[in-house]
Amino acid sequence: MNLATSSLVKQGYDAERVRADFPVLGEQVYGKPFTFLDSAASAQKPQVVIDRVRQAYEQEYATVHRGIYKFSGEMTEAYEQARETTARFINAKSDKEIVFVRGATEAINLVATSWGSLLNEGDEIILSEMEHHSNIVPWQLLRERQGIVLKIAPITDDGALDYDAFEALLGPKTKLVAITHMSNVLGTIVDIKRVTKAAHMVGAKVLVDGCQAAPRMPVDVQDLGCDFYVFSGHKVYGPTGIGALWARYEILDAMPPYHGGGSMIEEVRFEKTTFLEPPLKFEAGTPNFVGTIGMATALDYISDLGLDAIHAHEEDLLLYAEEQLRGLNSITLHGTARPKNAILSFSMADVHPHDMGTILDRDGIAIRAGHHCAQPLMERLGVNATARASFGVYSTREDVDRLVKSLTKVIDIFG
């Protein structure tokens, strides 16, 4: 998509109107307009989400699945409606396939611990070089516990998954492919349908880390064909401390409990305990029901904006930012493969990303600087760290212009 085409696509998207929904964007930093370019780390919250969470605490608060009184019943109903909203957001067959967790990290750990306990020594799991630590470390811990084998699919020099090399790793011992839908460093979008088709041909399942994709593009787990899909609430403009695991019901049903405690039991005796059916089997203890309701409100919010429109808007910003940054001779862009969206990592010759980030901060600009919880990918790129600008529903070309102006100042400072 070229700049002219993408501009036409986004004509109906009013970023300025959207910005008005986010109170923090009216703040100033060091006397400068707050320019937030770190949505890939954690997105800002619209007023509708803030109001819904506040209402739940101020006017409706009561624990779920326990009380027989009015507030408890109403909160339980809101909690389960949030499950329906989440299922609808990713086109799950049933809300019984949605497990609420603290975030994508816990979701992956749940699968690694519970489903992973069914694996045998020598079974293989394939990851890619572009994975977040949360989709690496849980599988390493499983390797230590059960002797599974990890294989790593490489990426190309421009930041795409090397599909031929990935497919060559598949074999009769492959039990799972755990892979990102969109790289949190490069913005690269992985062809999950191709990955799933190839994995299923050898009988392997596919887990998708959807943290970056879910806020930016339509997600249909039926169309993707994967077996697990995870995402975090705070990246889809909802609260922290909440997220979702989707898995096919028959898979969840075969998995042992992850935690033990209240809410997930059918009957407890000292001799034996029996458990409820999924998803409650995996939701021990008092859940983050207020966060869950807040996340559902956020999902409704971005659904109303339109995921296709969000995707087109953020792609326009990405193309514009790439064009502007290429005009700065000392800048190196990392990850130019297509398709990609919303995330731009870059380096500046002889300037550490932390120095860039500090100077930009004084201009009111928030970016991420570091290894982005993806140290193996940094090693593949041949750098210790990068600077990262990432866009959201509220980002504008003016934000990009401020970024470029401030980077020009960095160049002047460091000569």
pLDDT tens, N- to C-terminus, the chain (415 residues): 333 333 334 457 999 999 999 999 999 999 999 999 999 999 999 999 999 999 999 999 999 988 889 999 999 999 999 999 999 999 999 999 999 999 999 999 999 999 999 999 999 999 999 999 999 999 999 999 999 999 999 999 999 999 999 999 999 999 999 999 999 999 999 999 999 999 999 999 999 999 999 999 999 999 999 999 999 999 999 999 999 999 999 999 999 999 999 889 999 999 999 999 999 999 999 999 999 999 999 999 999 999 999 999 999 999 999 999 999 989 999 999 999 999 999 999 999 999 999 999 999 999 999 999 999 999 999 999 999 999 999 999 999 999 999 999 999 999 7
What is the pTM (predicted TM-score) of this model? 0.95
Token reading at 409: 């100042």
Decide: 124 and 263 in contact? Cβ < 8 Å. no
In the block, residue with structure tokens 């990426």? 155
Known catalytic residues are: 373
| Alpha helices (H) along 126-280 | 137-146, 163-169, 192-201, 221-224, 249-254
At residue 329, the pLDDT reads: 85
At residue 11, the pLDDT reads: 54
| DSSP β-ladder status, 35-36 and 365-366 | parallel
Give me the domains of the chain, ranges plus CATH numbers.
3-38+307-414 (3.90.1150.10), 50-304 (3.40.640.10)
Residues 103, 208: Cα–Cα separation, whole Å: 14
Cβ density class 365-398: b for 16+ within 10 Å, e for less: bbbbbbbbbbebbbebbeeebbbbbbbbbbbbee
The number of C-alpha atoms within 13 Å of 376 and in the hemisphere containing its C-beta is 16
